[in-house]
Chain A
């Protein structure tokens, strides 16, 4: 323990602040919540803000943390990306929070990153994302591509026998990078370039007739077609409505979505979508006592018995509890000490099994594939063993040679070929 801390301190001299043990904990312990409560992303992020508030209040009921009350400091970055950076700075310097739970979109994370690294803050990021990043100051509790996209494509290839792929996505970074990785992966699996159709649509796109028609046309050569959807947010509603209207059943053309969960389906009549798929690390239907307790706690907190839970909520649940345990282990909320204590932390998943924090700031997560049911929930039809999250994907040549190992190498972007650290601070 002392050894590791010593090495870290020598490796990262700029961080050498006061030794952790000497630091007094200021009560109350402040938890920053950096989720948009207005603007386009409020749709998804408000739920996460409520989740953190719930976790904080549950923690206080358990008697707080290190003898202190925990207090959630909520700010609204209003889906405005520069505002994320400004609010993060405010949280860290004015409110002096000990940790931040926040962000949803990649661009908001990239906006916050420089501030976190400059002020040595700590953030838990709960959403599945495109990978290709490992910041010292962020713990990624959502899925990296190898924990969601790749297993889902394997399922398509092996279980559904899909031979032609339509990759449909909203035009932003997550779909772009995920589709790039998937394209490389599919080619490595012997799928020809002309059998991969890629389309990007704007946020909130509503006119899906032509695109659905194009996808249906793909099955003209008699091979099984599958759709991999990274369509984001509301646009899904129009997409699925058009699919249903075109009477494309999941047996004809299965669709696996990476951004459609319980929350998104609640805006939709799912009776026509039965059998289409989603890949996540959590589904509300997971039949475990922990999950039952979590759902009950959530519904009690929000006062609505019809509210659903979803994957990013589980990510915050795991992240928050790991952070609490790490703080208790470290005996302080000091960022460097807590970060050290985070590595190797384990916490039970809501879907069974145990999540572990890896040296690359990512979690191990089981990959679940669910089929949409008529009631808007998912039937879990496949659940893997926990998969370790990979910050730098192995399927793109540029990043295959990179790895991230903070406690061991003190580097988030380490070139294994030249055996040198490309960068310690992120290049956003």
Chain B
């Protein structure tokens, strides 16, 4: 049913096309492994942007903490990657000794290897499940879900909305990143988990091949996420969400349990974001607290806004365009502009451009790049009305006052 919607169909075909073309070009040696990795990572970011769009674009909750869930997913999978890889390293020298290794010895050896860099060899309790891939994968989804559930339940129950909620989520993200920054937290502090691109068991497979596998996995995950998102926003559930965005108080008066809807969306998107993170970081190679810094979550919102919130493909376009452009500009790919008295180097001025283009988009093109699609099709896409006031419940208060 969902597949019959033209936008979904077009999106899925485009995604498939990009993936297949990239694969073929990579096989032919026309694009580099870094590009394949970049594309794969971008697709994962697009999943996070989709989730953000559901939360913000459709439900009106501006969460400035969703990227934290992305990072948690990365940490969860990173723990397994590091543990297993290290186990493979230490086992030969342990079993090669005259005595068979004891479990304590193995743990100690792995601990020294992983935490030696931060000057400790004790294995923190957080790592007790790190040896198991299924459990860590589950953690990548469930931990973000649980955090979102508790946080959301507390916040929505107290009717914290609007900018207050944004700031609260931002503060929570800051607290998490500060906590991770501490070496005592047991996740290697500022260094984070690194070398994640070396997948245990695939050590002999070249990165050029592994990167393609991850590209496909990311593409499939994005396709699934898109289908789920499209299905979510298409039915009655989606209408309620949009209702909450446009006027939370009225939806509540109509008898809907607004809090439950919000909590469901908040938690569900957190879980999806966590999974996207688990796919992203093995491609990025390293996850550390800086990834979770509040600014990363704000960037997530920026992508959605630039791409056009309130439409799913907008989020994907935004994530793709901004992260690819960022890579192009900071990579020195963009030619410098010589003004005669001053040379504009894009490595220096890219952030200025991004900052201002973001302001311009907000001011003059609130529908973002997705708005271009409207111009092209010459009509308003069905189901997307005016964005409406985003302070919903605030206005309700004003009327009361």
Please give the residue numbers on chain A whose beta carbons come within 8 Å of chain B beta carbons, in ascending order. 37-38, 73-78, 80-83, 85-87, 89-90, 93-94, 105-107, 110-111, 113-115, 118, 130, 132-133, 171-173, 176-177, 179-181, 200, 202, 396, 398-399, 415, 418, 420, 422-423, 426-428
Contact = CB atoms under 8 A, between A and B. Distances in A.
Interface string B12-34: 00000000000000000000111
B239 interface: no
A74 B332 contact: yes
A427 B89 contact: yes
Interface in B284-304: 284-288, 290-291
Contact of B182 (A81, A171, A173, A420): A171
A233 B187 CA distance: 23
A110 B194 contact: yes
B189 A171 contact: yes
A427 B195 CA distance: 7
Contacts of A38: 330, 347-348, 350-351
A85 B282 CA distance: 12
Contacts, number: 138
Nearest to A398: B112
B192 interface: yes
Most chain B C-beta atoms within 10 Å of own C-beta, residue among A90, A115, A422: A90
19 contacts: A38-B351, A76-B331, A76-B332, A81-B290, A86-B34, A87-B331, A89-B32, A89-B34, A107-B194, A110-B194, A111-B194, A173-B183, A173-B190, A176-B183, A200-B183, A418-B93, A418-B97, A427-B114, A428-B195
Contacts of A202: 178, 181
Contacts of B181: 171-172, 202
B285 A115 contact: yes
Which residue, A106, A173, A426, has most C-beta atoms of chain B within 10 A?
Answer: A173
Given A37-B348, A38-B351, A399-B116, A106 B191 contact: yes
Interface in B261-307: 284-288, 290-291
A54 B266 CA distance: 52
Contact of B331 (A90, A107, A396, A427): A90
A110 B332 CA distance: 23
Contacts of A80: 290
B133 interface: no
Interface of B: 32-34, 37-38, 85-86, 89-90, 93, 96-97, 112-114, 116-121, 178, 181-183, 188-192, 194-195, 197-198, 207, 284-288, 290-291, 327, 330-332, 347-348, 350-351
A425 B201 CA distance: 15
B206 to A, nearest CB: 8
Contacts of A179: 119
A355 B178 CA distance: 40
A75 B331 contact: yes
A427 B178 CA distance: 25
Nearest to B192: A107
Given A37-B348, A93-B32, A415-B93, A82 B284 contact: yes
Given A89-B33, A107-B194, A420-B93, A171 B183 contact: yes
Interface of B, helix, strand, loop or mixed by DSSP: helix
Q: Which 7 A-B pairs have the closest CB atoms?
A: A180-B119, A428-B195, A172-B190, A82-B284, A76-B347, A89-B34, A428-B194
Nearest to A183: B119
A37 B37 CA distance: 23
Contacts of A427: 85-86, 89, 113-114, 195
Given A38-B347, A420-B96, A172 B191 contact: yes
Nearest to A94: B32
Nearest to A397: B121
B114 to A, nearest CB: 8
A118 B195 CA distance: 11
Given A171-B183, A172-B189, A427-B114, 13 more contacts: A38-B348, A74-B332, A81-B192, A81-B286, A85-B284, A86-B38, A94-B32, A113-B194, A172-B181, A176-B183, A176-B189, A415-B93, A427-B195
The residue among B116, B178, B207 with the most chain A CB atoms within 10 A of its own CB is B116
Contact of B34 (A78, A94, A113, A200): A94
Contact of A422 (B93, B120, B286): B93
Contacts of A130: 117
A173 B93 contact: no
B118 A177 contact: yes
A114 B85 CA distance: 13
Identify the interface centre among A75, A83, A399, A428: most chain B CB within 10 Å of its CB. Answer: A428
Contacts of B351: 38
Contacts of A73: 332
Contact of A176 (B93, B96, B118, B284): B118
A111 B286 contact: yes
A107 B90 CA distance: 23
A395 to B, nearest CB: 11
Nearest to B188: A173
A200 B327 CA distance: 34
A37 B327 CA distance: 14
Given A86-B37, A110-B286, A173-B189, A76 B116 contact: no
Contact of A93 (B33, B286, B332): B33
A90 B119 contact: no
Nearest to B89: A423
A222 B59 CA distance: 64
B117 A132 contact: yes
B289 to A, nearest CB: 10
A93 B350 CA distance: 24
A200 to B, nearest CB: 8
A326 B173 CA distance: 48
Contacts of A114: 194-195, 197-198, 285
Interface centre among B85, B89, B113, B119 (most CB of A within 10 A): B119
Nearest to B108: A398
Nearest to A73: B332
A76 B288 CA distance: 19
Contacts of B113: 427
Nearest to B118: A176
B82 to A, nearest CB: 8
B119 A176 contact: yes
Nearest to B119: A180
A200 B120 CA distance: 16
Nearest to A40: B290
Contacts of B182: 171, 200
Nearest to A115: B285
Nearest to A415: B93
Nearest to B331: A75
A27 B56 CA distance: 53
A8 B189 CA distance: 37
B67 to A, nearest CB: 13
Nearest to A119: B207
Nearest to B197: A114
Contacts of B86: 427
Nearest to A85: B285
A132 B112 CA distance: 11
B116 A132 contact: yes
A111 to B, nearest CB: 5
Given A113-B195, A114-B195, A118-B207, A89 B37 contact: yes
Nearest to A74: B332
